[in-house]
Amino acid sequence: MAFSILVCIKAVPDLASGGTLAIAGPWIDETVIGWCMNHYDAYALEAALAIKDAATDITVDALSAGPDRVQNTIRRALAMGADTGIHLAMNAVGRLAPATAALSIARFAKTKRYDLILTGAMSEDEMHGITGPMIAAALDLPCAAAAVEISLDVAGRSLTATCEMEGGMAEIVRLPCPALLTVQTGQRIPRYPSLSNTIRSRRQAIERAVPDETANHTPTVDTLRVSFPQQTTSCQFFEGTRIEKADRLLRLFNDNGWLK
């Protein structure tokens, strides 16, 4: 029985490879940074690919909404093993508000009748954690957040998800498909692209869809500014050579009676 999965991925500023943030206008300077796949979305894609690996007749589509730069992230998803890459071409300069992204993705997904939609639990850059649930709300799908384990019953068209809670607790929920899950990091480390998939991803066309951006009903939330956190003056930075710093730290530890 065929089963289709959509994974929503976001291109975010790549800070892991040494990029640093600079501020320009009300947001960051997007011209001086590289872009990569949101870490949480990579876990969502890995969860989808693991489901695909374990059964037959499962397709995984990877979708990203935004300007042309998101295509590199879509290629990465293809290289990891997604069957189809979809670019929701949205010309919004700068950022897409969660509700805007959710509405466009939902309108697209509705035409494809996916059995399961996966998103990351949040994005590394804006950290809202609401786009996934808003897609589910727009499509009236059952939804669970922060899944760390997914067990799919393809024949029964349902899934059981273990969702992380605070303090080491986890809630287990059952959802009928179609459903949407947001995926938390931790369960399976996202795979590296295989050579054959990387070669395929370079040749494969990315499906392009242009969403109707006109009828967005949600009230706007404007970013006024971003700033670096104020440095509190109470932190004392140890100066000197490495040995001097080590000795000062040991003196502090010793004076407090913590050392053996």
Partner 1 sequence: MIQNKCLGTVLIVGETVDGRLSAGSRDLGNQASRLAGQFNGQAVGVLTGHDIEQVARSWSKTAGMPVIVLDHAQCRYPNPPLTASGVGALADECSPLAVCFPHNMRACQAAATMAWRIKAPCITAVDAILKESDYFVLKRAVFGGKLRESVSVGHVPMVLTIMPGLFSPSVSLEVPDHSPSVETRLLADTNHRFIPQGINRRKDTDQALERAQVVVSAGRGLKGPEYKGLLDAAAGMFKNAAVGGSRGACDLGWLPHSLQIGETGRTVSPALYLACGISGATQHLAGMRESRTVVAVNTDPKAAICNLSHYAVIDDLTVFLPVLRERYDRMRNKGDEV
Q: What are phi and psi of 58, to 5 degrees?
A: -115, 130
Regarding 189 and contact with partner 1 (CB under 8 A), the answer is yes
Regarding 220 and contact with partner 1 (CB under 8 A), the answer is yes
Q: Which is nearer to partner 1, 133 or 193 (CB)?
A: 133
**What is d(CA 123, CA 113) in angstroms, rounded to the nearest whole number?**
25
Q: Say which amino acid occupies 117.
A: I
Contact with partner 1 (CB under 8 A) among 133, 150, 154, 197: 133
Instruction: State CA 188 to chain mean position distance.
Output: 14
Subset of 90-119 contacting partner 1 (CB under 8 A): 98-99, 102
Subset of 194-213 contacting partner 1 (CB under 8 A): none
Contact with partner 1 (CB under 8 A) among 114, 126, 150, 154: 126
**Tokens representing residue 129 in the block:** 């954690």
Subset of 158-187 contacting partner 1 (CB under 8 A): 160, 162-176, 179, 182, 184-186
Helices (H), 55-97: 71-80
Closest CA to 5 of 193, 163, 177: 177
Q: Which is nearer to partner 1, 129 or 211 (CB)?
A: 129
Whether 43 contacts 123, CB under 8 Å: no
Tell the smallest beta-carbon distance from residue 85 to partner 1 (Å).
26
Q: Which is nearer to partner 1, 26 or 207 (CB)?
A: 26
Whether 6 contacts 74, CB under 8 Å: no
Subset of 15-74 contacting partner 1 (CB under 8 A): 15, 21, 23, 28
